Amino acid sequence: MTDYPLTFKCNDNCISCILDTEITSRIPDPSLKQIADVIDKIDSNTDYFGVGGGEPTLRKELFKVLKYTRERHPNLYIFLVTNGRMFAYEEFVKNLADLKLGNYRVAVALYGHREEVQENITRSIGSFEQTVQGIKNLISFNIPTEVRTIINRINYRYLEELANFIVKEFQGLDRVVFVNMKITGNAYKNRDKVLVRYNELVPFVEKAVEVLRKNNIKVYLYHFPLCIIPGHLWDLAKGITKAELEELTFVEECEKCKVKQDCPMIWKTYATFVGKDEFKAVD
């Protein structure tokens, strides 16, 4: 697994971003040589190459980087993580489609079913309309597209509404992923506004999953320790994200848990800033 930021610049300023955007906005972009060196060193055992940021679509050489990655690694899974706003421009989507990358997916962050929810998080006027149009454009060009929703206190009550919105607006979507937030960067600085306990958000996640499953949309849960969700959702959440292993932990209670080997573990930041009392061994 290899993840690399093409830029730390962003046209959103998400209140729940895992980066401190005041700091990262001043970091210069890596050179094309630096990026090429990273791509050249990807070995054959790597699961994927994650292209991120900041907002990678702001990097003018994005398509050049993607093309080079595919030339160097013909079968590698390429994963582009974006806020989707640049894909509101049809020509931009066409440029991506014309690369014919093959084994890849675009993951677009969508936080809510309406402008107010989305833009209270992105703190960027117009971001909801552009992101929604960007997702529609990606689907229209048959580009494998994922909607990725990072859950926080601002949006967790609206997850079922978001699921219904996705069903209505995005026919042909590849999949939906709900992600429990890591409490770093902007999320840490704004933790009084964005932190929500798992036992509060899980009932809303369960309802959203039900809507999506009924409509035959694939859905996954990232960073949901198995003991906090009903057993019928475990298959959506199993497995540790190896690239983030250093940021994950078990607590004392986990030592006697019978599903520990399948558990995605707990964000260290959650255990630190929220606590460990929610986590109970499954027997």
- Contact yes or no for 77/48 (Cβ under 8 A): yes
Q: Is residue 279 part of a domain?
A: no
pLDDT at 224: 98
Q: Is residue 214 part of a domain?
A: yes
Distance linking the first and last C-alpha atoms of the chain: 33
Report the 10 Å Cβ neighbour count for 37: 11
pLDDT at 242: 74
Q: How far is CA 187 from CA 21, 84, 190, 221, 234, in A?
A: 10, 21, 5, 20, 26
Q: Is residue 215 part of a domain?
A: yes
Write out the chain's pLDDT in tens, 283 residues. Answer: 689 999 999 999 999 999 999 999 899 999 999 999 999 999 988 889 999 999 999 999 999 999 999 999 999 999 999 999 999 999 999 999 999 999 999 999 999 999 999 999 999 999 999 999 999 999 999 999 999 999 999 999 999 999 999 999 999 999 999 999 999 999 999 999 999 999 999 999 999 999 999 999 999 999 999 999 999 999 999 988 777 889 999 999 999 999 999 999 999 999 999 999 999 999 9
pLDDT at 130: 98
CATH number, domain containing residue 35: 3.20.20.70
Q: Is residue 283 part of a domain?
A: no
Sign of CA dihedral 75, 239, 139, 115: negative
pLDDT at 2: 82
Q: Is residue 148 part of a domain?
A: yes
Name the domain count of the chain: 1
Q: Is residue 87 part of a domain?
A: yes
pLDDT at 1: 67
- Domain with 56, as residue range(s), is 2-222
pTM: 0.96
Q: Is residue 43 part of a domain?
A: yes
pLDDT at 181: 97
Exposure b/e, 78-114, CB count within 10 A at least 16 = b: bbbbbbbbbbbeeebbeebeeeebeebbbbbbbbbbe
Q: Is residue 155 part of a domain?
A: yes
